[in-house]
Structure 1
Amino acid sequence: MTCFDVFNGDADGMCALRQLRLSEPREAIRITGLKREIALLERVDARSGDDVAALDISLDVNRAALLSLLQRGVRVQYFDHHGSGDIPSHPALQAHIDLAPAVCTGMIVDRYLGGRHRLWAIVAAFGDNFGRAARGLAASLALQPQQLAALQELGECLNYNAYGDIDSDPVLHPASLYTLLERYESPFQFMQAELVFGKIKQARRHDIELACQLQPHTVLPGGCVHVLPDAAWSRRVRGEFANTLANNDPQRAHAVLTPNVREGFTVSVRAPLTRRQGARQLCVQFETGGGRAAAAGITHLPRDRLPDFVKAFEQAFPQDAK
């Protein structure tokens, strides 16, 4: 029997898997990628009797590959909070799907494990910009304020490091970063021991400073659209900058676009934090769009469709939340 662990390369995906493997250790072939790489199950070469764990990747996007695995006699354990559509009913599928706006995959795994490795769930929640949920989890632990702040910074750094359009964009590719994370039972041990954490922190701070110096492309009643330059730093910071904008102006929506290799744009959208709705509905209007109600994106927006996106953004978020 061969085991596969398939997970998103952001904070939520990595921390969800870290919790699961601390409780249920096993040797597995790991499959991950940059945050935008969601269709990962199609990379799994599994046969009858094999086991697959899928974490933090949309079931809807991976539906065809999932059904193929099940038909081949592969057992699948699925944890996710993204768009799922109808969940297949199959004896070999164990699905833990929760689409609530303020629930991330790390929190779903935390629930499944009864909170046995909650520190990693807190990191996951902070990484997905669920600060209130992260602090709610932390209330059950005897953490000092500086410890909670450190977990928040780690979550934000892990999430930042997952962004980019090519493998060389991040400070360290998520696959390599997870091999470091899995050495440690506690996120505090990782932060203390691994020099790469400091490198990611420094790069994140630098990239945010550059992004904050730029003016928005379009300012609308219900939000702003930002177009960053064609550079590795802007591709890395796209999601982190969107979260920063959302946290600084929680009643408005925000979109951050970066040029991509297909001569269009990759897009990150954040709905207003005060209502966390509308991001997915906006993005799925475009061919490669998807995500969650609160945070979504478009893998490729053709350059000539930028005006269409701005118009759709204005319609999706027509005015400031009251």
Structure 2
Amino acid sequence: MHIDVCNGDADGLCALVQWRLHEPRSARLITGLKREIELLQKVQAAQGDQVLVLDLSLRRNRPALLHLLEAGVRVRYFDHHDADALAQHPLTHPLLEAHIDSASDICTSLLVDRYLGGLFSAWALVGAYGDNLTQVADARAARMGLGVEERRRLRTLGEAINYNAYGESAQDVLIAPAQLYALLIRYRDPFALLDHESIGQELEARRQTDLRQATTLTPHWQDAQTRVYVLPDEPWSRRVMGSLVNQYANAQPAQAHAVLKTKSSGGFLVSVRAPLSAPSGAAALCRKFGGGGRAGAAGIDHLPEEGLSGFIQALSQAHWGE
């Protein structure tokens, strides 16, 4: 049995599209919304089965991964999230093929693209744009000979797919990530998807509507290096959180940004972006508060209300780019 496990954001889905275009095979898909990270816990596999893992933190999935390997399951793992735990406690196993790179200019779609030798690079660009690696994606697109309008179309699609992964339940999003993947995999080229399917335009229209809800927001706290915003707990804010923090980061590349959303159960959900001019340190900061992520972008699933002032202080004093 073959099982594919991936994050339901643009990077995870576009990485999987590339792999399954390269190696078409019937496989059970396990995916979910952006914050559903520990997906390997859902894998039911036995000796001889093969599992492909894409864009899921190995630190968060390590126990489940070890269980699968000990059961005789072969695992191929591509990821770009913080790998400090892997460096401190190396994980080697004859059934594990790991491709982990946490550099600030890489994402899982680009890792798969590198492994496949650029077979489906346009899909890799969609994933990179979705992960807000705009400069990296633009440079790669220029080398591929893509013009400004073609880059705009890929970026819009990537941002729209990524937006669709944000929400607390399937009711928050327009289309479940697994259903979205079933549309994407029909096309060897994302331009063909855009020409024949309306889903990209539908997602982008809804994203822009949600972004307009946030136009009146003012910073909850700011200084010369940092801005912090707090969103209410509403369906639109749950969906737009990632797009919004990326928008702020792109508009002020020398500043760090945090967007917090109040939770109905109390406390906050947090998204952090390191300054684009010094894109590292976000994961290290969020780990101090029980979160994680990657060098340039990270998050915290639960920040208690009493921890807000301490978080803001740590954010404002962070040494980015180190």
TM > 0.5: yes
Superposed displacement of residue 210, structure 1: 1.6
SS of alignment partner, residue 268 of structure 2: strand
Q: Return the match for 2:211 from 193, 196, 208.
A: 208
Tell me how far 1:213 sits from its aligned partner: 1.7
Deviation at 1:267, TM superposition (A): 0.5
Q: Which residue in the other structure is 2:150 paired with?
A: 147
Mapped partners of 2:289, 2:199: distance in 1: 36
Q: How does 1:1-322 map to 2 (within 5 A)?
A: 2-84=1-83, 85-86=85-86, 87-287=90-290, 289-316=291-318
- Name the amino acid aligned to 1:316: A
Measured in 2, the distance between the counterparts of 1:38 and 1:210 equals: 28
Aligned-pair CA distance for 1:38:
0.8
Partner-residue secondary structure (3-state), 2:298: strand
1:24 counterpart letter in structure 2: E
CA distance in 2, matches of 1:120, 1:59: 23
Provide the rounded CA distance (Å) in 2 between the counterparts of 1:166 and 1:54. Answer: 22
Q: Aligned partners of 1:42, 1:28: CA distance in 2, in Å?
A: 17
Deviation digits for residues 233-252 of structure 1 (CA, Å, limit 9, x no counterpart): 01111111110000000000
**Which residue identity lines up with residue 318 of structure 2 in the other structure?**
A
Q: Equivalent residue of 1:199, what SS?
A: helix
Give the letter for the 2:49 counterpart: D
186-195 or 243-252, larger mean C-alpha shift: 186-195
Which secondary structure state, in structure 1, belongs to the residue aligned with residue 59 of structure 2?
coil
The CA distance in 2 between the partners of 1:261 and 1:78, in whole Å, is 35
The one-letter code matched in structure 1 to 2:167 is G
Residue 226 (structure 1) shift: 0.2
Q: 1:317 to 1:241 in 2, by over 3 A?
A: farther
Letter in 2 for 1:222: Q
> Matches of 1:55 and 1:277 in 2, distance apart?
21
CA distance in 1, matches of 2:71, 2:219: 50
> In the TM superposition, what whole-angstrom CA distance separates every residue of 1:135-162 from its partner, at most 9, and x where no partner exists?
2221332323211110010111111111
Measured in 2, the distance between the counterparts of 1:177 and 1:241 equals: 22
> For 1:251 and 1:137, how far apart are their aligned partners in 2?
23
Runs of 5+ in structure 2 lacking a partner? Answer: none
Q: Is the 8 A contact 1:262 1:300 kept in 2?
A: no
8 A contact 1:7–1:56 mirrored in 2: yes
Structure 2 residue matching 1:60: 3-state secondary structure: helix
Give the secondary-structure state (helix, strand or coil) at the position aligned to 2:171.
coil
Q: Distance in 2 between matches of 1:144 and 1:10?
A: 25
Amino acid at match of 1:314: S
Q: How far 1:33 moved relative to its partner?
A: 0.5
Is contact 1:55–1:80 with CA below 8 Å preserved after alignment? yes
Stretches of structure 1 that go unaligned for 5 or more consecutive residues are none
**Whole-angstrom distance in 1 between the partners of 2:130 and 2:271:** 15
Distance 1:103 1:187 in 2: 20
Contact 2:233 2:264 in 1 (8 A): no
Q: Deviations over 1:266-299 (max 9, x none)?
A: 1000000000122112111112x00012100001
SS at match of 1:27: coil
Question: How many residues are matched?
Answer: 317
TM value normalised by structure 2: 0.95
**2-side partners of 1:39 and 1:262: how far apart?**
21
What is the root-mean-square deviation in Å for CA atoms of aligned residues? 1.4
Measured after TM superposition, the shift of residue 317 of structure 1 is 5.5
Distance 2:40 2:265 in 1: 24
